[in-house]
């Protein structure tokens, strides 16, 4: 790149507009005259903004797009071509490449379609996001938590529990059908235009929305949707659904929205059914979005889940990991344990621990501890099961059990009981031979102890 790409950028403590971090968004908004809003593309291609975007894209890594260029190849490419790309952006002539279609399995089943832009387009989208985000952030609802700075899923979950504790023990759970695939471009662009005046930026966003989708080597045009996978899509989704937030606020509802997952908390089932019916009509008529009737419903707070959590019937309710979340964790654990059962338990635990820590970090708000004790016990039993199979022959099992401190008679009887690995992994002889302290010595993360640590530190 002529003068932009560097491996590292020292933090200046300022955002792309020169405002100190932490400054009031409202103040920042007042300092933006119309002339500045007409010159946003100059801010997009500014050296500091592009360096930040470059670091973000390289740090995120990610797969190559249709041109097969990797993030490692981005810097030399920009050194050679940045002057041309910058001139095309400033003149409004830049044309994005098609995005590569990739399908990944959804946690609840089915496939999710991702659109992977080229690394150059990811860089430009990230630069756009950094400049545009402050113009919209100041106006977004405090009840919107997804894809926003200093906001996360745990805050949404804690607020949801707060609403339920106030007596709103019914929830209107709205699921938008294929939201990212069905966003209407004209409606979305009309919302963007309310705050953005630079016609070059508006035209570029429209081109990114309409960039073709490559599947199996063939590029198909796109007339709707903003596929997940690009840095700009999260911001555009929040711009689109901000109108839903404003309508809910106008009606005085208590709600939490994370991306396209929206829960409204009400005091009765009848009120919830009215809300669901009226919002289905509002979304269809105003935003041309369809509510998934099969997944949307009105129910008790303990009957529905939100962002992987559910609540108990207690007053006030307690947060706990949803059953489906536990099932997904167990499925991932089984996959890791099936990878070559000839490995030592220490090797398996080393691979398990990052998964367990990450899962526990997300579910640290849970107030039902018994689930975590049960998971710890299940994990240890799975590991004992592997050990039992590795010992294979009754004679070997007898010797190993004796090494672990069992008497010869008990070791012989246990090794020759003729029962399967899962039974023996849960039996008293294996619990005594390989107790919890044995797994602690191997470094196995305890979910229950991690939860207790989180609760003590907050």
Strand order in the sheet with 170-175: 254-258, 261-266, 170-175, 297-300
Structure letter (DSSP) for residue 142: T
Q: Is the peptide bond before 429 cis (omega within 30 degrees of 0)?
A: no
What confidence tier does 440 reach under pLDDT thresholds 50, 70, 90? Answer: very high
254 pairs with which residues across the strands? Answer: 265
Lowest mean pLDDT among 5-9, 35-39, 225-229, 282-286: 5-9
pLDDT reported for residue 84: 96
pLDDT reported for residue 226: 82
d(CA 308, CA 325): 6
Lowest mean pLDDT among 59-73, 236-250, 261-275: 59-73
Task: Give phi and psi for 61, each to the nearest 5.
Answer: 60, -115
d(CA 214, CA 227): 12
Task: Give phi and psi for 101, each to the nearest 5.
Answer: -80, 125
What pLDDT digit, counting tens, does each position of 3-36 carry?
A: 554 433 333 344 433 444 343 343 344 445 565 6
pLDDT reported for residue 182: 87
First to last CA, the chain: 46
Cα 436–chain centre separation:
33
What is the arithmetic mean of pLDDT over 217-246?
87
pLDDT reported for residue 104: 77
Tell me how far CA of residue 137 lies from CA of 111, 134, 145, 201, 384, in angstroms: 31, 5, 11, 18, 51
Task: Give phi and psi for 98, each to the nearest 5.
Answer: -65, 160
On whether the CB atoms of residues 401 and 415 are closer than 8 A, the answer is yes
- 46 pLDDT exceeds 80? yes
Q: Is the peptide bond before 185 cis (omega within 30 degrees of 0)?
A: no
d(CA 263, CA 310): 12
d(CA 206, CA 137): 20
- Angle, CA 410 vertex, CA 404 and CA 412 arms, to 5°: 90
432 pairs with which residues across the strands? Answer: none
pLDDT reported for residue 17: 39
What pLDDT digit, counting tens, does each position of 114-156 carry?
A: 889 999 999 999 999 999 999 999 899 999 999 999 999 999 9
Question: Which residues are CB-neighbours of 272 under 8 A, at least 6 positions away?
Answer: 170, 171, 172, 264, 266, 298
On whether the CB atoms of residues 425 and 381 are closer than 8 A, the answer is yes
- Tell me the two tokens of residue 452: 């207790």
- 368 pLDDT exceeds 60? yes
On whether the CB atoms of residues 58 and 4 are closer than 8 A, the answer is no
d(CA 309, CA 323): 9
What confidence tier does 434 reach under pLDDT thresholds 50, 70, 90? Answer: very high
Global confidence as pTM: 0.83
d(CA 259, CA 237): 7
Token pair 């952030």 is found at 137
Name the residue among 117, 112, 11 with its Cα closest to residue 57: 117
Q: What is the dihedral of CA 439, 442, 448, 452, to 10 degrees?
A: 130
Task: Give phi and psi for 269, each to the nearest 5.
Answer: -65, -40
d(CA 363, CA 321): 7
On whether the CB atoms of residues 227 and 114 are closer than 8 A, the answer is yes
d(CA 307, CA 295): 14
pLDDT reported for residue 219: 75
- Tell me the two tokens of residue 425: 């992994």
pLDDT reported for residue 107: 67
What is the arithmetic mean of pLDDT over 172-201?
92
- Average pLDDT in the chain: 89
* SS3 label, residue 59: helix
């Amino acid at each position: 790149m002529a003068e932009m790409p560097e491996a590292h950028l020292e933090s200046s403590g300022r955002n792309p507009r020169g405002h100190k971090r932490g400054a009031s968004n409202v103040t920042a908004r007042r300092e933006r005259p119309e002339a500045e809003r007409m010159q946003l593309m100059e801010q997009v291609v500014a050296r500091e903004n592009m360096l930040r975007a470059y670091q973000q894209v390289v740090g995120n890594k990610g797969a190559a797009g249709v041109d097969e260029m990797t993030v490692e190849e981005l810097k030399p490419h920009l050194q050679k071509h940045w002057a041309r790309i910058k001139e095309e952006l400033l003149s409004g002539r830049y044309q994005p490449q098609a995005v590569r279609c990739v399908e990944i399995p959804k946690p609840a089943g089915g496939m999710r379609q991702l659109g992977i832009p080229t690394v150059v387009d990811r860089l430009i989208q990230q630069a756009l996001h950094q400049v545009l985000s402050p113009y919209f952030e100041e106006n977004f609802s405090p009840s919107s938590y997804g894809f926003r700075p200093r906001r996360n899923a745990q805050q949404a979950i804690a607020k949801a529990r707060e609403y339920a504790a106030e007596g709103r023990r019914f929830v209107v759970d709205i699921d938008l059908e294929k939201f990212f695939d069905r966003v209407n471009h004209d409606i979305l662009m009309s919302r963007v235009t309310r705050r953005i005046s630079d016609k070059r930026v508006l035209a570029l966003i429209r081109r990114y929305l309409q960039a073709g989708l490559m599947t199996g080597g063939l590029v198909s045009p796109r007339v709707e949707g903003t596929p997940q996978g690009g840095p700009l899509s999260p911001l555009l989704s929040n711009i689109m659904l901000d109108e839903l937030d404003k309508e809910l606020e106008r009606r005085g509802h208590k709600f939490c929205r994370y991306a396209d997952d929206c829960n409204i908390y009400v005091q009765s089932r009848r009120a919830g059914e009215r809300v669901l019916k009226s919002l289905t009509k509002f979304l269809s008529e105003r935003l041309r979005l369809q509510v998934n009737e099969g997944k949307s419903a009105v129910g008790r707070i303990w009957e529905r889940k939100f962002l992987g959590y559910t609540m108990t019937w207690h007053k006030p309710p307690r947060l706990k990991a949803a059953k489906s979340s536990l099932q997904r964790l167990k499925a991932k654990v089984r996959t890791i344990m099936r990878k070559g059962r000839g490995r030592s338990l220490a090797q398996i635990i080393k691979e398990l621990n990052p998964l367990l820590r990450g899962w526990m970090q997300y579910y640290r708000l849970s107030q039902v501890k018994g689930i975590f004790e049960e998971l710890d016990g299940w994990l240890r039993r799975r590991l004992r099961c592997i050990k039992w199979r590795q010992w294979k022959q009754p004679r070997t099992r007898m010797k190993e059990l004796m090494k672990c401190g069992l008497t010869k008679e008990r070791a012989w009887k246990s090794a020759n009981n003729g029962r399967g690995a899962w039974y023996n992994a849960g039996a008293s002889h294996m619990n005594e031979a390989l107790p919890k302290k044995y797994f602690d010595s191997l470094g196995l993360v305890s979910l229950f102890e991690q939860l207790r640590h989180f609760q003590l530190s907050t």
